[in-house]
A and B are shown apart, each in its own frame.
Chain A
Amino acid sequence: MQAPPGELRRALGRAEARRKWRAFALTVPLLVFLLLTLLVPIVALLQRAVENPEVANALPRTVRALDGWNRKEAPAPAAFAAIAADLAQLPDSSDAGALARRLNTEIAGARSLVMGTFRALPIAGTPEEVKARMLELDPRWGEAPYWQAIAKNGSRWTPDYLLASVDLRRDVAGEIERMPADQRAFAGILLRTFQISAVVTFFCLLLAYPLAWWLSTLPARKANVLMILVLVPFWTSILVRVAAWIVLLQSEGLVNRGLMGIGLTDHPLALLFNRTGVIIAMVHILLPFMILPLYSVMKSVPPTYLRAAVSLGSSPLAAFFRVYVPQTYPGIGAGALLVFILAIGYYVTPALLGGADDQMLSYYIARYTNVEINWGMACALGAVLLVATLLLYAVYRRIGKAELSLG
């Protein structure tokens, strides 16, 4: 029995399609996992960075009453009556707390103003009476900046967090301007984050390249044993390694004693709680991420090329730099990118080994998340870090012109 040829082709086609679907089905768990753990949180983060529901939810009447206000002096009594009515309508004191927190990030002091008034409720009477009562309660109600903060945040969405994360703000009229000098911080911190990461990447490359090259020339047995030495610290907790660096680098630590012992310096060097300590520890922690990609690329470079170049009359040094190094560019690229991107997000190491001016952006993200509980600001800073990293990656792709995978 032989099937007609057309049917065979169809059967083959069906089998092929089934195989494709099965292959795709195998990747489904990973895709779902990525969607849930990567894309959804990123979208939520970006949304939180522009969300501004507190004032719009809590003070709808006040926002309407402030519509058309000249934003220069305290508003008309109607606005006072509106805010007293709005506060009285809040279902729970936690809503007043959320409002107070939101306004306090806009103007310091608004927290006590709002909560103090909320606790003094009810305030009833004609708008004029309400105004008088509120001013008596807290004379700050007569000051325009608190009202400006309310009027400015009447909308559900705000660019303020994102603006603040690059040291900009909206003035009373809504025009974008620079932050006052004593509140400018994040642009400098972002720059510092990139600087530290670049320096760390540079030193990692400097240290890892010769080591990876040496490892790649060794016979497999020896290379594997030495690779374990590279990997053991890689598996040790970061905190343990940071603590070890504190012991080594402190002013009466091993390094300083050694330096003084051999007479290189007569007083202990400041190696800790400054930029030096941060960079030393970060280079140490990130070194394996540079060694591994370099090693895997170098393993695949045939040693015959170098020998051929030398036998054709090149000096060994020129042969190394003109023949060997270009063949390891993919490894350098992958390692540098990996180290740089990991370094950008560093938080614990600078927090424990750095001074007040060595903190990277993640430190402030953690601070706004955990201490200030200003999640809008934390998300905006996170978004800035994300965008900056993506931009950098795009630039790298353009310059490198090579398809690059981190694997």
Chain B
Amino acid sequence: MKKTFLACIVAASFALPALAQQQLTVVNFGGANANAQKKAYYEPYEKTGTKIIPVEYNGEQAKIKAMVETKKVTWDVVEVESPDAVRGCDEGLFEKLDYSKIGSKADFLPAAVTDCGVGLFVWSTVMAYNGEKLKTAPTSWADFWDVKKIPGKRGMRKGARYNLEFALMADGVKPADVYKVLATKEGADRAFKKLTELKPNIQWWEAGAQPPQFLVAGDVVLTTVYNGRIDAANREGRDLKIYWPGGIYDLDYLVIPKGAPNKEASLKYIQFTMQPANQAVYAQSIAYGPTNTKALASLSPKVLADLPTSAANAKDALQFSVGFWADQGEALEKRFASWATQ
């Protein structure tokens, strides 16, 4: 008996190398989005024989920088936000991608194709309110500033990003002109001045999960929020509503940190995530838009109604300007810190 057991162990230890599976460490932002990625990408991909080890992070590029600089890269595929995708590429944190191994560029949204990162999904920062509580629905960004018409607090992200754009739109700037105006000194002054008007009525949020809670708890009447969070709350039985015009949409990208050990396997995984069928499953799990335009065709009107990429919702939306924020971000965020102190 004992001998057979021992023999089994010996046999197993010899067999192990053959069983050793390909593993990929895939890093995401956690939450409902991670669950959707698990359902649409991780689980189906594991059936092809590669084990996916999901890791959550908070977007800290410092971690990737530290890994790349010390040449101890343990992450294979990382989801990053657009400014980080561009900046990290410039600074040599990510591998350049070989698109012949990912798919046809023509099928992807133009914004999804960059040197180091391929866009995985489209999300949008929008205005939202609680349909159960608010009687007068907002009809413009000026209403977000109008505390007489809709009394109550406003939720806004702590920081300059998005808020300056919204401030200019509330001040009458057309979405198409927002970044042109904001790039000038007068434009930035104008945005901060507009923000000052609303300052006593702003309740700041830090994490994406907070604004839906604010709305549900009645702490704020209107808030800026990532659209997927509203969708997630509504799936739990809430009646939160989105005002789409003037929403700022952006992409999250998949990148491979420079020096990652399994580059080829990572590319294969990325190729898998960019296939229309898989992206359609993803979009059904969370209201973020597919980057492979062919995925849209298979989605029902009900799913499309909640996606930032559907024609109706994208009509008056503003594309987040990565270039503008990569240049001006640090100075504007510092100015925001200074403004908040006053």
A interface residues (Cβ-Cβ under 8 A, vs B): 92-98, 100-101, 104-105, 108-112, 115, 181-185, 188-189, 192, 250-253, 272-273, 351-352, 354-357, 359, 364, 367, 369-375
* Interchain CB contact (< 8 A) of B327 among A104, A252, A367, A375: A104
17 A-B residue pairings within 8 Å (CB atoms):
A94-B92, A97-B91, A101-B90, A101-B91, A185-B341, A189-B341, A250-B217, A273-B203, A356-B202, A357-B340, A359-B337, A369-B60, A370-B59, A372-B329, A372-B330, A373-B91, A374-B330
User: Known contacts being A112-B326, A352-B207, is A182 close to B335, with CB within 8 Å?
Assistant: yes
- What does DSSP make chain A's interface, helix, strand, loop or mixed? helix
- B91, B333, B336, B337: which contacts A94 (Cβ < 8 A)? B91
- Residues of the A chain whose Cβ atoms lie less than 8 Å from the Cβ of B158: 355-356, 359
CB of B45 closer than 8 Å to a CB of A: no
Q: Evaluate contact between B341 and A93: CB separation under 8 angstroms.
A: no
Chain B residues contacting A189 (CB-CB under 8 Å) are 337, 341
Whether B335 pairs with A188 at a CB distance below 8 angstroms is: no
CB atoms of A101 and B337 under 8 A apart: no
Shortest CB–CB separation between residue B161 and chain A, in angstroms?
A: 10
Shortest 9 CB-CB distances between A and B: which pairs? A94-B92, A97-B91, A97-B90, A356-B340, A185-B338, A108-B331, A370-B60, A185-B337, A188-B341
Bound-state CA distance A101–B340 (Å) is 25
State whether A111 touches B92 (Cβ < 8 A). no
* B205 to chain A: closest residue by CB: A273
* Chain B residues positioned under 8 Å from A95 (CB to CB): 92
11 new A-B contacts at CB < 8 Å, known A105-B330, A183-B338: A96-B90, A100-B90, A100-B91, A104-B326, A108-B331, A108-B332, A111-B87, A185-B341, A250-B219, A355-B203, A369-B60
B62 pairs with A355, CB closer than 8 A: no
B90→A369 contact, CB < 8 A: no
Q: Is the CB of B338 within 8 A of A273?
A: no
Bound form: Cα–Cα A207–B219 in Å? 30
Docked CA distance A373–B68 (Å): 14
**Contact call A373/B327, Cβ cutoff below 8 A:** no
A110 vs B87: C-alpha distance in the bound complex, in angstroms? 13
Known: A250-B219, A273-B204, A355-B203. A111 touches B91 (CB 8 A): no
B180 to chain A: which residues have CB within 8 Å?
none
Residue interface bits B307-342, CB-to-A below 8 A is 1, else 0: 000000000000000010011111111111111110
Instruction: Chain A residues near B131: list those with CB within 8 A.
Output: none
Chain B: CB-nearest residue to A348: B206
B154 to chain A, nearest CB (A): 12
In the bound complex, residues from chain B placing their C-beta under 8 Å from that of A184 are: 338
A355 contacts across to B, CB distance below 8 A: 158, 202-204, 340
Query: Of residues B206, B218, B340, which shows the largest number of chain A Cβ atoms within 10 Å of its Cβ?
Result: B206
Q: How distant is the Cα of A185 from the Cα of B329 in the complex, in angstroms?
A: 16
The chain B residue sitting closest to A364, CB to CB, is B337
A369 CB contacts on chain B under 8 angstroms:
60, 62
Q: Which residue of B lies closest to A108 (CB)?
A: B331
* Given known contacts A112-B326, A372-B330, A251 and B204 CB-to-CB distance under 8 angstroms: no
User: Which residues in chain B, 196-226, are within 8 Å of chain A measured between CB atoms?
Assistant: 202-204, 206-207, 217-219
List A contacts of B263 (CB < 8 A).
none
**In the bound complex, how far is the Cα of B205 from the Cα of A250, in angstroms?**
13
Taken residue by residue from 261 to 298, chain B's Cβ proximity to chain A (1 for < 8 Å, 0 otherwise) reads as: 00000000000000000000000000000000000000
- The answer on a CB contact under 8 Å between B333 and A372 is yes
> Complex formed: what's the CA distance from A374 to B204 in Å?
24
- Closest residue of chain A to B206, judged by CB? A351
**Which chain B residues border A104 with CB–CB below 8 Å?**
326-327, 330
From the candidates B60, B90, B328, B331, name the one contacting A183 in the complex (CB within 8 A).
Answer: B331
